[in-house]
C-alpha cells in the first residue's frame, strides 16, 4: 500500500491520489482531450503502476509519479496531452534549476571579493565590494533569471544562454530602454521637475552647469544605459549670456557709485541699460554689438551724470572688460563644478556614477566659445589632486568651416582640444564631414549635427519619421549582438553556409528585438517620470501621464551588433582584414550584408533597425570562453581570452596608425548604430601635440565617424605626478607600493608648488 | 615609537593609478576590469605614425 510520497527536497508527505488526478485534469483541460472522469481513471492506473513499482512501505518519488503519468497518458492515447505535460515538466525543471543557480549567484555576490570574481567585475563602473553595488548585482541576477524563464522564447533563451547571441542589458529586459541625447535647451526652458520639487529656469552659468548634471543624473535613473548632452556648448552659452548681462550691469553700477561716492544708483543705471537695450534690441552681449551698445550707453551716462564723453567711454570700456573677465571666471568655475559633480555623484541606489557624455565644438558664438574653452581647461586641470576626470566623456564635433582648418572660427578650440586630449584622453572626436554624417547636416540647425553617446551609440536616420533625422531627444531602445566567429567556425570554411547561418541569426535577433520592443511599448509615461514625464524624449511632451509610449519610442533604434570580425575572417579564409586587401573586401562584404538586412527590416517594419559595432565589455570574454570549450583553441580564432571588438583590426596586430585608420574607416559608413576606432600611441608621441593632431586629421580625412586616441595616463597619488609611469615614478622615484620619506615629500612640495597632494588617502 | 615610525614615511602599499579606455569610457584603475578586458589591454600594441608598421 502507498501511504506517502517523497518530495524533491527529501521530505515525506501523505499520498493523495486526488492531487495526481488534479494535475492530469489541468493538462486534459488545456488540450481539450478529456474530462474529470478520464483524469480519475488515469490517476487510478498511475496508482496501480506505482504499487507494482515500489516495495511495500517505500514512498514513491515525485519524478517517479510524473513518469508514470506520462506513461499512462501515452498508453491511453492522450498524445497531445502527454506532450503538453512533458513540456510543462521540462519548463518547471528549467525554472527550478534557474532558481538554484540564482541562489548560487547571490551567494557569490554576497561572499566573494570582487577581485576574485569575474562576474562581479562585469561592469567596471560598479564597485561589487560595496553594499549598494552588491544589492544592484543581486537585483540583476534575479531579473536575469526571471527574464530568461518567462520572457524569452525557448529558442531565444537557448541562443542567449549558449552564446550564439548576447542580449545586452538583459537584466532590464522588461523595464526600460537604453539611452538618450538630452536637449538641454528644451529641458531648461521654463524650468523642469525631478520629481521632488520644481526647478526654475536657471539664470546664470553656475546654475546652468549644476542643473545639467542633475538632468543627466535624473534621466540615468529612467534608463539602463548612459546619458549624453548633444548641444553642451549651445546650451551652456545661454547661461553665459545671462551671467554676462548681470555682471555688466552690476559692474557699471559699482563704477558709477564709486565715482559719485554714493550707494544708490542701482535703479538709475538699470534704467539706462534698459533704454539702450530697447534701442539696440538686446541687452549687453559678450563681444557682440560692442561699439553700438557701449557707445549709446556712454552717451546716456554722460547726459545723466554730466561726465565728459571720453570719461564715460572709458568707464564703459572698463566695465565691459571686467564683466568679461568675471564671466570667464564664473564659466571656468561652473565647468570645474560640472566635471567634479559628474565624477562624484551617484545614481541607481548609489551604486554607479552616471555614464555621462557631452558633445560640443561647433558653437561659434562668443558665449559658446567661452564654454568650450573653459570645459577643456577644467578637464586639463583635472580633479582636486590633479586626477584625470573619468566623466563625462567629451566628444568634440569636428567640422570643416567651423573648427577644422586654419581661419575657421573655432580652429583655436580644436587645437586646444588636441592639447587636452593628449594629456587627459578626452575629448574624443566625431567627424561631421564624413559623408554618412554630412548628409544630415544643415548649417544653423545644431540638431542635425551628429552627436554620439560616449560609448559610440549613434542615432540619426529615422525611417519612422523622415522629417526628424536629428540627434536630439532620441536614443537606442535595445541592442543584441551576434557571435560572428562561431558562425564562421561552424561553417568550416563554406562561405555560402556562413551567410545562410548569418541570415538565420539576424532573423532570430530581429524577432527578439521586436519582442522586447512589445514589452517596452506597453509601458506608460508614468514609468519614466523624467525621460517621458519631462518631455526629454522626442514627442513625449505630447503625451499624458497615463498614455503608453509605443508610438514615440519608434523614434529610437533597435540595433543588431556584432563582435569579432577579425576572428570570423581568420576562421573562414585564414587571414583577417588587417593582413590583405582581399580580406578587407571579404570583411566589408559581411558587414555590408548585415547593414542591408537592417535597412530592409527598417523599411518593412517602418522602425529604425540599425547595425552596431558593439562595444563589448563583458562580451569579449564570454563568447570566446564558451567557444574554447566547444571547439578548443583554434589559432587566430579562439586562442586568446577575448574576441576582437566589432570590426577592429586586432589589438595585438602590428600596424601603423595610418593603415589602421584607412582599414577601419569604411566600416564606420556601414555601422549606422555607432562605431569607434582607436589608435594607440606611446606616451612620447601623445605628448607631441602636432603628432596627436595629425592622427585626428588622418581620421577626419579617411572618413572615420567617431574616433579616439589612447595613450597611457598614469598617476602617482603620493607625489601627484601625472604621465607615463613605468616601474619607477619619474618624480618621486618610488616603486609601486613603496613609501617615500616625509622629508622627500616636503622637498617635492617646494619644487612643485600646488602639484603635490596634501592628502593622498594613504596617510 | 611605532606611531612615529609610521609617520616618517608616506605611501606604503599605495599603488599607481593607471587610467585606460574601455568601450569608450575611461576607467580609473584596472582593478575593476573583467579578466578578458585585462587580457585585451595587456595585448594592445602601439601604432606608429610612419606609413608602415
Give start-end residues of each CATH 3.20.70.20 domain in chain A: 457-675
Q: Which of A118, A387, A428 sits opposite B35 (nearest CB)?
A: A118
Mean pLDDT (whole number) for A336-360: 82
A474 to chain B, any CB pair closer than 8 A? The answer is no
Q: Which of A654, A739, A760 sits opposite B45 (nearest CB)?
A: A654
Please give the Cα distance from A240 to A236 (Å, whole number).
Answer: 6
Q: Which of A615, A712, A718 sits opposite B14 (nearest CB)?
A: A718
**Predicted pLDDT of residue B31:** 62
Mean pLDDT (whole number) for A312-333: 97
Distance (Å) from the C-alpha of residue B1 to the closest C-alpha of chain A?
16
Which residues in chain A (598-627) have CB-CB distances under 8 A to chain B?
615-618, 620-622, 624-625
Please give the Cα distance from A646 to A311 (Å, whole number).
Answer: 66
At A8, the pLDDT band (50, 70, 90 cuts) reads confident
Residues of B in contact with A578 (CB under 8 A): none
Q: Which of A121, A716, A725 sits opposite B33 (nearest CB)?
A: A121
Q: Please, what is the end-to-end C-alpha distance for chain A in angstroms?
A: 76
Q: Which of A454, A642, A694 sits opposite B24 (nearest CB)?
A: A454
CB–CB contacts below 8 A, A to B:
184
Which residues in chain B (28-47) have CB-CB distances under 8 A to chain A?
28, 31-37, 39-40, 43-47
Q: What is the DSSP letter of B47?
A: -
Residue-wise pLDDT tens digits, A202-257 = 999 999 999 999 999 999 989 998 999 999 999 999 999 999 999 999 999 999 99
Q: Which residues pair with A229 in a beta bridge?
A: A358
Residues of A in contact with B44 (CB under 8 A): 651-652, 680, 710
User: CA–CA distance from A737 to each of A113, A487, A585, A714 (Å)?
Assistant: 21, 46, 50, 15
At A90, the pLDDT band (50, 70, 90 cuts) reads confident
**Predicted pLDDT of residue A762:** 44
B18 to chain A, any CB pair closer than 8 A? The answer is yes
A124 to chain B, any CB pair closer than 8 A? The answer is yes
**Are A387 and B17 a contacting pair at CB < 8 A?**
yes
At A416, the pLDDT band (50, 70, 90 cuts) reads very high
**Are B43 and A624 a contacting pair at CB < 8 A?**
no
For the stretch A20-38, what's the b/e string if a residue is b when 16 or more beta carbons lie within 10 angstroms of its beta carbon? Answer: bbebbbebbeeeebbeeeb
Distance (Å) from the C-alpha of residue A433 to the closest C-alpha of chain B?
21
Give the number of other CB atoms < 10 A from CB of residue A338: 27
At A122, the pLDDT band (50, 70, 90 cuts) reads low
User: CA–CA distance from A249 to each of A148, A237, A238, A501 (Å)?
Assistant: 63, 19, 17, 70
A388 to chain B, any CB pair closer than 8 A? The answer is yes
Please give the Cα distance from A193 to A122 (Å, whole number).
Answer: 33
B4 to chain A, any CB pair closer than 8 A? The answer is no
**Predicted pLDDT of residue A351:** 58
A227 to chain B, any CB pair closer than 8 A? The answer is no
In this structure, chain A runs to a length of 763
Q: At what angle do helices A366-381 and A232-260 cross, to 10 degrees?
A: 100
Poorest-pLDDT segment among A88-102, A289-303, A491-505, A547-561:
A88-102
Q: Does residue A122 contact residue B34 with C-beta atoms inside 8 Å?
A: yes
pLDDT over 90 percentage in chain A: 72
A728 to chain B, any CB pair closer than 8 A? The answer is no
Distance (Å) from the C-alpha of residue A205 to the closest C-alpha of chain B?
27
Residues of B in contact with A760 (CB under 8 A): 10-11, 14
In this structure, chain B runs to a length of 53
**Are A121 and B53 a contacting pair at CB < 8 A?**
no
Q: Does residue A20 contact residue A69 with C-beta atoms inside 8 Å?
A: yes
Query: What residue ranges do the domains of chain B occupy?
Result: 15-45
Report chain A's mean pLDDT, rounded to a whole number.
92
Please give the Cα distance from A410 to A660 (Å, whole number).
Answer: 28
At A714, the pLDDT band (50, 70, 90 cuts) reads confident
> What's the half-sphere exposure (Cβ side, CA atoms, 13 Å) at A95?
12
DSSP per-residue codes, A309-365 = HHHHHHHHHHHHHHHHHHHHHHHHHHHHHHHHHHHH--BTTTTB---EEEEES---S
At A297, the pLDDT band (50, 70, 90 cuts) reads very high
**CATH 3.40.50.150 is held by the domain A457-675:** no
Q: Is the bond leading into A427 cis (omega within 30 degrees of zero)?
A: yes
Distance (Å) from the C-alpha of residue A622 to the closest C-alpha of chain B?
8
Distance (Å) from the C-alpha of residue B2 to the closest C-alpha of chain A?
14
Residue-wise pLDDT tens digits, A161-214 = 999 999 999 999 999 999 999 999 999 999 998 877 788 999 999 999 999 999
Q: Which residue of A has its CA nearest to B32?
A: A124
At A105, the pLDDT band (50, 70, 90 cuts) reads confident
**Predicted pLDDT of residue B33:** 66
Please name the residue that has the C-alpha cell 593603415.
Answer: A659
Residue-wise pLDDT tens digits, A738-748 = 999 888 988 99
Q: Which of A178, A633, A636, A641 to mutate to test the interface with B (most CBs of B within 10 A)?
A: A641
**Predicted pLDDT of residue A347:** 63
Mean pLDDT (whole number) for B5-12: 71
Mean pLDDT (whole number) for A495-502: 98
Kindly report the CA angle at A506 between A504 and A508, in degrees rounded to 5? 70
Distance (Å) from the C-alpha of residue B3 to the closest C-alpha of chain A?
12
- Helix or strand holding residue A397 (H, E): strand A393-398
Alpha-helix runs per DSSP H in A615-724? 619-631, 657-670, 683-687, 689-702
At A305, the pLDDT band (50, 70, 90 cuts) reads very high
ipTM exceeding 0.90, yes/no? no
**Predicted pLDDT of residue A269:** 95
Q: Which of A122, A715, A760 sits opposite B11 (nearest CB)?
A: A760
Please give the Cα distance from A53 to A629 (Å, whole number).
Answer: 41
**Predicted pLDDT of residue A93:** 81
**Are B9 and A428 a contacting pair at CB < 8 A?**
no
**Predicted pLDDT of residue A92:** 81
Q: Which of B26, B39, B46 sits opposite A641 (nearest CB)?
A: B39
Give Cβ neighbours of residue A573 (< 8 Å, ≥ 6 apart).
A493, A583, A586
Q: Which three cell numbers stand for residue A458?
A: 549613434
Residue A367: closest CA among A210, A468, A241, A536: A241
Rg from Cα positions in chain B: 18
Residues of B in contact with A128 (CB under 8 A): 32
Residue-wise pLDDT tens digits, A613-668 = 997 767 888 999 999 999 999 999 999 999 999 999 999 999 999 999 999 999 99
pLDDT over 70 percentage in chain A: 97
**Reported pTM:** 0.86
**Predicted pLDDT of residue B2:** 44
Report CA torsion sign: A619, A621, A627, A633.
positive
Q: What is the DSSP letter of A645?
A: P
**Are A738 and B12 a contacting pair at CB < 8 A?**
yes
Report CA torsion sign: A686, A689, A695, A699.
positive
Burial classification of residue A295, based on how many CB atoms lie within 10 Å of its CB (0-12 exposed, 13-18 middle, 19 or more buried): middle
Q: Please, what is the end-to-end C-alpha distance for chain B in angstroms?
A: 58
Please name the residue that has the C-alpha cell 515538466.
Answer: A89
Poorest-pLDDT segment among A102-116, A154-168, B22-36:
B22-36
**Predicted pLDDT of residue A425:** 92
Distance (Å) from the C-alpha of residue A119 to the closest C-alpha of chain B?
8
**Are A641 and B36 a contacting pair at CB < 8 A?**
yes
> A347 phi and psi, to 5 degrees?
-135, 180
**Are A736 and B18 a contacting pair at CB < 8 A?**
no
Amino acid at each position: 500500500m502507498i501511504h506517502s510520497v517523497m518530495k524533491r527536497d527529501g521530505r515525506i508527505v501523505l499520498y493523495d491520489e486526488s492531487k495526481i488526478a488534479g494535475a492530469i485534469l489541468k493538462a486534459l483541460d488545456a488540450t481539450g482531450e478529456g474530462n474529470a472522469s478520464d483524469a480519475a481513471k488515469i490517476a487510478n492506473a498511475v496508482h496501480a503502476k506505482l504499487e507494482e513499482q515500489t516495495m511495500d512501505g517505500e514512498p514513491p518519488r515525485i519524478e517517479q509519479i510524473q513518469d508514470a503519468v506520462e506513461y499512462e497518458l501515452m498508453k491511453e492515447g492522450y498524445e497531445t496531452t502527454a506532450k503538453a505535460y512533458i513540456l510543462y515538466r521540462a519548463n518547471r525543471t528549467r525554472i527550478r534549476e534557474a532558481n538554484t543557480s540564482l541562489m548560487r549567484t547571490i551567494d557569490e555576490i554576497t561572499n566573494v571579493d570582487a577581485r576574485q570574481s569575474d562576474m562581479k567585475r562585469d561592469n567596471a563602473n560598479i564597485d561589487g565590494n560595496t553594499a549598494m553595488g552588491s544589492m544592484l548585482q543581486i537585483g540583476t541576477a534575479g531579473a536575469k533569471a526571471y527574464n530568461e524563464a518567462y520572457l524569452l522564447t525557448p529558442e531565444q533563451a537557448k541562443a542567449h544562454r549558449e552564446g550564439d547571441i548576447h542580449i545586452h542589458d538583459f537584466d532590464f529586459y522588461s523595464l526600460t530602454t537604453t539611452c538618450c541625447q538630452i536637449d538641454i535647451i528644451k529641458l531648461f526652458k521654463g524650468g523642469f521637475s525631478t520629481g521632488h520639487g520644481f526647478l526654475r529656469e536657471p539664470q546664470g552659468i553656475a546654475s546652468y552647469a549644476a542643473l545639467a548634471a542633475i538632468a543627466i543624473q535624473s534621466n540615468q535613473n529612467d534608463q539602463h544605459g548612459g546619458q549624453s548632452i548633444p548641444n553642451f556648448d549651445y546650451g551652456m552659452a545661454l547661461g553665459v549670456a545671462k551671467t554676462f548681462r548681470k555682471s555688466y550691469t552690476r559692474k557699471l553700477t559699482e563704477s558709477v557709485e564709486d565715482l559719485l561716492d554714493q550707494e544708490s544708483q542701482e535703479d538709475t543705471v538699470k534704467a539706462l541699460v534698459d533704454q539702450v537695450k530697447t534701442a539696440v534690441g538686446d541687452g549687453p552681449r559678450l563681444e557682440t554689438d560692442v561699439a553700438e551698445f557701449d557707445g549709446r550707453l556712454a552717451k546716456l551716462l554722460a547726459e545723466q551724470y554730466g561726465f565728459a564723453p571720453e570719461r564715460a567711454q572709458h568707464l564703459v570700456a572698463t566695465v565691459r572688460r571686467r564683466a568679461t573677465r568675471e564671466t570667464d571666471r564664473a564659466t571656468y568655475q561652473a565647468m570645474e563644478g560640472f566635471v567634479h559633480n559628474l565624477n562624484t555623484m551617484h545614481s541607481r541606489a548609489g551604486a554607479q556614477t552616471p555614464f555621462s557624455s557631452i558633445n560640443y565644438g561647433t558653437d561659434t558664438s562668443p558665449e559658446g566659445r567661452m564654454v568650450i574653452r573653459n570645459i577643456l581647461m577644467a578637464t586639463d586641470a583635472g580633479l582636486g589632486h590633479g586626477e584625470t576626470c573619468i566623466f563625462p566623456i567629451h566628444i568634440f564635433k569636428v567640422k570643416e568651416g567651423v573648427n577644422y582648418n586654419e581661419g575657421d572660427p573655432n580652429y583655436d578650440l580644436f587645437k586646444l582640444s588636441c592639447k587636452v586630449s593628449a594629456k587627459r584622453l578626452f575629448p574624443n572626436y566625431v567627424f561631421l564631414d564624413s559623408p554618412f554624417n554630412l548628409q544630415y547636416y544643415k548649417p544653423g540647425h545644431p540638431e542635425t549635427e551628429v552627436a554620439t553617446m560616449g560609448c559610440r551609440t549613434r542615432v540619426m536616420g529615422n525611417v519612422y519619421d523622415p522629417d526628424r533625422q536629428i540627434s536630439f531627444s532620441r536614443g537606442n531602445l535595445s541592442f543584441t549582438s551576434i557571435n560572428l566567429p562561431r558562425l564562421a567556425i561552424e561553417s568550416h570554411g563554406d562561405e555560402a553556409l556562413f551567410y545562410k547561418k548569418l541570415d538565420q541569426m539576424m532573423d532570430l535577433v530581429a524577432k527578439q528585438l521586436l519582442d522586447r520592443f512589445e514589452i517596452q511599448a506597453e509601458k506608460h509615461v508614468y514609468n519614466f517620470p523624467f525621460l517621458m514625464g519631462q518631455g526629454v524624449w522626442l514627442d513625449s511632451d505630447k503625451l499624458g501621464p497615463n498614455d503608453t509610449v509605443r508610438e514615440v519610442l519608434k523614434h529610437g533604434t533597435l540595433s543588431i551588433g556584432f563582435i569579432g570580425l577579425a576572428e570570423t575572417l581568420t576562421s573562414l579564409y585564414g587571414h583577417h582584414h588587417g593582413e590583405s586587401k582581399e580580406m578587407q573586401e571579404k570583411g566589408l562584404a559581411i558587414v555590408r550584408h548585415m547593414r542591408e538586412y537592417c535597412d530592409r527590416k527598417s523599411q518593412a517594419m517602418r522602425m529604425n533597425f540599425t547595425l552596431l559595432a558593439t562595444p563589448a565589455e563583458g562580451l569579449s570574454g564570454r563568447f570566446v570562453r564558451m567557444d574554447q570549450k566547444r571547439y578548443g583553441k583554434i589559432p587566430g580564432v579562439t586562442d586568446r581570452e577575448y574576441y576582437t571588438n566589432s570590426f577592429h583590426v586586432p589589438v595585438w596586430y602590428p600596424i601603423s596608425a595610418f593603415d589602421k585608420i584607412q582599414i577601419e574607416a569604411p566600416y564606420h559608413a556601414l555601422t549606422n548604430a555607432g562605431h569607434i576606432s582607436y589608435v594607440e600611441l606611446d606616451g612620447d608621441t601623445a605628448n607631441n601635440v602636432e603628432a596627436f593632431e595629425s592622427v585626428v586629421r588622418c581620421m577626419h580625412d579617411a572618413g572615420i565617424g567617431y574616433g579616439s586616441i589612447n595613450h597611457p595616463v598614469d598617476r602617482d597619488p603620493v607625489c601627484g605626478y601625472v604621465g607615463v609611469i613605468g616601474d619607477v615614478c619619474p618624480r618621486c622615484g618610488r616603486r609601486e607600493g613603496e613609501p617615500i620619506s616625509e622629508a622627500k615629500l616636503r622637498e617635492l612640495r617646494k619644487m612643485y608648488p600646488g602639484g603635490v597632494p596634501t592628502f593622498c588617502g594613504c596617510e | 615609537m611605532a606611531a612615529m615610525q609610521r609617520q616618517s614615511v608616506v605611501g606604503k602599499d599605495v599603488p599607481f593609478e593607471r587610467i585606460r579606455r574601455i568601450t569608450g569610457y575611461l576607467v580609473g584603475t584596472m582593478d575593476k576590469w573583467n579578466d578578458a578586458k585585462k587580457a585585451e589591454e595587456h595585448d594592445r600594441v602601439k601604432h606608429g605614425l610612419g606609413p608602415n608598421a
